Amino acid sequence: MDLLNTLVDKGLRRELPTREEALAVLATSDDDLLDVVAAAGKVRRHWFGRRVKLNYLVNLKSGLCPEDCSYCSQRLGSTAGILKYTWLKPDEASRAAAAGLAGGAKRVCLVASGRGPTDRDVDRVSETIKAIKDQNESVEVCACLGLLSDGQAERLREAGADAYNHNLNTSEETYADITTTHTYADRVDTVRKAHAAGLSACSGLIAGMGESDEDLVDVVYSLRRLDPDSVPVNFLIPVEGTPLAKEWNLTPQRCLRILAMVRFVCPDVEVRIAGGREVHLRSMQPLALNLANSIFLGDYLTTEGQAGQADLDMIADAGFEVEGAGEVTLPEHRASAGCGSHEAAGGCGSHDSGGACGSHGSGGVCGSVPAPQPNEARTDLVAVRRRGAGTDLAPNA
């Protein structure tokens, strides 16, 4: 297929595909799916070999959030029966992190619900980072605390944080349909604050919220311009008690196409399969390792994930290997900090997007992509987390 040969060539050169090409990946047929995975797999292996980076989530503060993000079980007005607790103490968070590190994780992601941290919250998280690094000096720590105020990213960096996560989630055009208590521009501003402070930026998306193919391409192109080092791809977990509980729009095949499109647009960044892989990819998860080079180990913030040992077995059985603590995740040209100030003019190594088709509906593939077929609701695969952080039960790692 000429399209796939072109995309592989561009991916190996870090050249941005056109919008038509990105949309065409999402529009491929099931008959062509393995060819799409194989092509994107060539790009993945060129930059990351067969290594899989393991990440581990620690939910420092669960629920009680004043924001109204429709996808979130911790949102204002949520009736989901999730765990709710205030800030974990540093030693509690350190013990939770240790379980993930023992399971092979090399990055710990410290997450707290809320619009954004107060200065006191930054102090708390700083103490937690120190407690974790005192026990595991080589661990990477990523903070995810919401919208940042001026100076807070710098304080987190001084405390030892290596990265900051703040996802764009969906396209700018449709963002207000998902969240009204803050804006898309607020999210972009926080990613830029992380970059400016010298933190490795982590920013991704959520698929399956009823968005169009154009929306998916829009948000991935926006991420390319922001140039994060890692891009988590979440697949909506429709939790009862949230506005999107009835949104079952994904199939395993569509999830694979989305991951392939992200890999082609962001060839040399850490693409992470994040929340929802067990629910939507299901038995196709091992195939997705040919596209993404990073996953979360064990449970998520408020829902349960696949058993940690099952994750390790899946990686080995698929012919991949867990990335070691001493291995550098990113390709040399990114890891060496040669990307400058990460301005949003096209991203490190990008070749601008001047060849893109521009506005939606301009002919060809753009504007003519068929709607995805809805998936059968698999509520049996959605389980609220009842172990780990905030409980007396051992975590899943």
Decide if 366 is catalytic.
no
Binding-site residues for [2Fe-2S] cluster: 109, 142, 202, 272
- Residues in binding site for [4Fe-4S] cluster: 65, 69, 72
Which of 75, 142, 187, 192 is labelled catalytic?
142
Catalytic residue among 187, 272, 334, 385: 272
**C-alpha span between 136 and 93 (Å, rounded):** 13
Q: Which one-letter amino acid corresponds to residue 16?
A: L
Cβ contacts of 134 within 8 Å, gap of 6 or more: 94
* Beta strand extents in the chain (DSSP E only): 51-61, 107-112, 140-144, 163-165, 200-202, 205-207, 230-235, 270-273, 294-296, 321-322
Residue type, 67: E
Rg of the Cα atoms in the chain: 19
Residues marked as binding? Answer: 65, 69, 72, 109, 142, 202, 272
Among 144, 202, 348, 357, the one annotated catalytic? 202
Q: Catalytic annotation on 65?
A: yes
From the list 14, 19, 65, 224, the catalytic residue is 65
Q: CB 119: neighbour CB atoms within 10 A?
A: 10
């708390």: which residue's tokens?
124
Q: Active-site residue 202, yes or no?
A: yes
- The yes-or-no answer on residue 357 being catalytic is no
Query: Tell me, what DSSP letter sits at residue 7?
Result: H
Q: Does the annotation count 69 as an active-site position?
A: yes
CB 372 within 8 A of CB 249: yes
Q: Which of 275, 310, 320 is nearest to 396 (CA)?
A: 310
Strand partners, 294: 53, 272
Cα angle 207, 52, 191 (rounded to 5 degrees) comes to 50
Is 348 among the residues known to form the active site?
Answer: no
Catalytic residue among 14, 19, 44, 72: 72
Integer Cα distance of 273 and 293 in angstroms = 8
Query: If we measure between CA atoms, which residue out of 194, 91, 188, 187 comes closest to residue 146?
Result: 187
Spell out the residues 6+ positions from residue 49 whose beta carbon is closer than 8 angstroms to its own.
Answer: none
Among the options 14, 19, 75, 109, which is catalytic?
109
Catalytic residues: 65, 69, 72, 109, 142, 202, 272
